Structure formats: C-alpha cells, structure tokens
C-alpha cells in the first residue's frame, strides 16, 4: 500500500463533559477506501468531522500529507464532504449547484462548464444541467452532491452515511457507483456507516468503532473471518458467541463437548469466547454430530434457510441451503478452522477498548 495521507494522532474530543473520542490514533493511506463502522454514538461521525475541519479536537493532531492541519478551516483543506442530507441549494439548477465551489475559487466560465459536463458524465447524469434539485429522485440528488464534491478535485472525499436515506436497491446500485468512482478518480474515500453489509462490500479497510475506541482495523475478510473480540464478531454479521474452555492447543470444550480447532497459545483449561458463524455449522444425522439438538425455529431467507437449533442448553443460529423442518433431531458439526477462539475480556471496560494496528 502507498504512504500515509492522513494521520490522526492521539485525538480526544468531549461534548458537554462526555468523552466521544479517547486518544484515537488512525492513519489513512492514499487511494484507500476506508470505512468507519460502528453503532450510533460510537464516535465515527465526530472522527470524520474532525478530518473535515468541522470540529476541532480537544487534544491531538490531524496531519495531512505531512502537514499539521488541525486548526485549518474546512475550505482550506484538500478534502470535500458529502453529507447524508444532500444539502443541495434548492433555488439553483444542477449546474449551478455543481459550479458553486468553483465560482468561489474564481475559475473561468469555460473551465467550470467543462467540469460540470465531466462530473455529470462521471455520475451518469448527462444532460441534467438545467434541472432543479426538487425534480430529482433521492439517488439522483445524492449523485449531484457527489458530483459537486468531485469537481473541486479533492485529494480525499469524506462521506457521512451518504446512502442512508435511499431504498435498498438504489443503495446497492450506489455502492457500485462509488467503487467505480473511486477507481476512476484515484482519490481517497473515507466513509462513515453503521451498515455492515455496506462496509464489507465497498471497503479496502474497515475501522470498527465502539464507545470512542477503535475495536479492530482490517480488510473486510479479516474483520469478518477473524474478529478480535466479541463486540466485532457480534456487530459484523450474525454469530454464535459461546463461552468455552480451551483445554489445550487445538482443542476447545463448548457446552460440555470437545471440538477440535486450529487455535494455539491459549494455555490449558483457559476460559475463552468461541465464535462460530451460522453458515459454518453443518447439520447431520444426530449420531454423526459432535453434539445433538432439535430444530426449534425456521425461516426461509431466499438464498438459505435460517434455523435455530436447541442443543446443550444453547440456541444455535444456523444458515443452510438444506431444509430441516422444526422438530427434526440433528447433529451439529463444525470444521476445526471455522471455530474462532478469543480471549475473554477481563472487565467491562476492556470490552470497549480495541486494538489499533
């Protein structure tokens, strides 16, 4: 990966005495699509606003391309922000909306007209120059907001839940649009969302946040397949999180049954948290499973069946393309490499504190 473009150093921010970001360290590389992901109130939008210059940290620095920009106003930064509320000027045409920033920069008329055409082509809205924003759909308005940001040639585009107000099909179309735009423009995208699927689909790097701390940083695959703690495992997709005991290397006891696994270095008879994804559970004949249970719940999800299986006092969530009707006795089998072992947090506080790379 190329070099650091933005470096957030020991950023702390409080509102009304409540700490929203606590000593946050994070860097973003050039041309990266980085997503800040987490529940409401975890500090992700505040982080974005500090990068954009809309908030000043109480402590810490924002370094951009090696320069300290912590106290630089938004219009002096090489970053442009696209908000969830598109904030288009309703009394201006599409062309005037897109040209707004360029006019402030006193660019020539020809330059501005070329840029408008280029930006509209890029967001697939050729010929929309003279339309008024209120005649456009939500998806079209969002694309105009993105076009308006792009014409300023920012090095970084900050996107704050920009697809939150769109319906599902349109959101998925826009996700592909954004990936295409990033690849065509070669600029860095920093994206805020609480939608896991959006983050997994679009990002090169995901930063999972909770309570003002970074819980984990990694590729979508890392975050999904190797969650570093129960919060991440629970937040990204569905998981079975079960208390277990690591008997020895490569052997864990879950709900009274011994399961082979691939993890090592947890010691002997150590209490651990075990994460098993619902799609990694195989349902077999009862006698072929490591533990036995009964299907208690069933929903058809289109691609797969979602079942709940009562086994050894635990409600297992299982996704399978095979149908096992409610009441069917089954055996549960999990391949060793599909069992993730995690240290149990020592305290509630530790659950909130993640690890930065």
Mean pLDDT of 23-32: 96
Plot region of 121 (φ>0 → left; ψ -120 to 50 → alpha; else → beta): alpha
d(C-alpha 251, C-alpha 268), whole Å: 10
- Flag whether pLDDT at 169 surpasses 50: yes
- Flag whether pLDDT at 217 surpasses 80: yes
d(C-alpha 44, C-alpha 39), whole Å: 9
Q: Report the run of H or E that residue 43 belongs to, with start and end.
A: none
d(C-alpha 317, C-alpha 297), whole Å: 9
Structure tokens at 189: 């995208």
How many CB atoms neighbour CB 2 within 10 A?
Answer: 9
Q: How far apart are the first and last CA of the chain?
A: 15
pLDDT tens per residue across span 279-324: 999 999 999 999 999 999 999 999 999 999 999 999 999 999 999 9
Q: What is the largest CA-CA distance in the chain?
A: 78
pLDDT at 330: 98
How much of the chain, in percent, has pLDDT values that exceed 70?
96
Say if CB 35 and CB 179 are below 8 A apart. no
Beta bridge partners of 191: 35, 159
pLDDT band at 81 (very low <50, low <70, confident <90, very high): confident
pLDDT at 83: 80
Bridge pairing between strands 33-37 and 205-210:
parallel
| pTM summary value | 0.86
d(C-alpha 48, C-alpha 160), whole Å: 8
Say if CB 280 and CB 334 are below 8 A apart. yes
Q: Which domains does the chain have, with CATH numbers?
A: 4-225 (3.40.50.300), 239-346 (2.40.50.140)
Selection from 250, 216, 211, 247 nearest residue 230 by Cα: 216
């Amino acid at each position: 990966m190329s070099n650091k473009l933005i470096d957030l150093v020991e950023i702390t921010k409080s509102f009304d005495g409540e700490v929203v970001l606590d000593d946050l360290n994070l860097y973003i590389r050039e041309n990266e699509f980085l997503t800040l992901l987490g529940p409401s109130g975890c500090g992700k939008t505040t982080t974005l606003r500090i990068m954009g210059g809309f908030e000043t940290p109480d402590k810490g620095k924002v370094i951009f391309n090696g320069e300290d920009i912590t106290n630089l106003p938004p219009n002096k930064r090489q970053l442009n922000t696209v908000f969830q509320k598109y904030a288009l000027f309703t009394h201006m045409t599409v062309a005037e909306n897109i040209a707004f920033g360029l006019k402030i920069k006193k660019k020539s008329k020809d330059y501005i007209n070329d840029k408008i055409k280029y930006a509209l082509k890029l967001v697939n809205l050729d010929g929309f120059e003279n339309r008024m924003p209120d005649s456009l759909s939500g998806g079209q308005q969002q694309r105009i907001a993105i076009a308006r940001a792009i014409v300023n040639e920012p090095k970084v585009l900050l996107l704050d839940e920009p697809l939150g107000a769109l319906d599902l099909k349109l959101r998925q179309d826009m996700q592909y649009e954004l990936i295409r735009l990033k690849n065509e423009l070669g600029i860095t995208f920093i994206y805020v969302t609480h939608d896991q699927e959006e983050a997994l689909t679009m990002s090169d790097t995901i930063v999972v946040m909770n309570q003002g701390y970074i819980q984990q940083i990694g590729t979508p695959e890392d975050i999904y397949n190797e969650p570093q703690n129960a919060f991440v495992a629970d937040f990204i997709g569905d998981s079975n999180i079960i208390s277990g005991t690591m008997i020895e290397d490569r052997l864990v006891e879950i709900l009274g049954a011994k399961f082979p696994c691939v993890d090592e270095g947890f010691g002997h008879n150590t209490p651990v948290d075990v994460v098993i994804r619902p799609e990694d559970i195989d349902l077999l004949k009862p006698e072929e499973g490591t533990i036995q249970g009964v299907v208690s719940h069933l929903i058809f999800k289109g691609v797969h069946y979602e079942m709940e299986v009562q086994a050894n006092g635990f409600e297992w969530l299982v996704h399978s393309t095979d149908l096992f009707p409610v009441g069917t006795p089954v055996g549960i089998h999990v391949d060793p490499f599909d069992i993730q072992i995690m240290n149990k947090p020592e305290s509630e506080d530790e659950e909130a504190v993640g690890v930065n790379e």
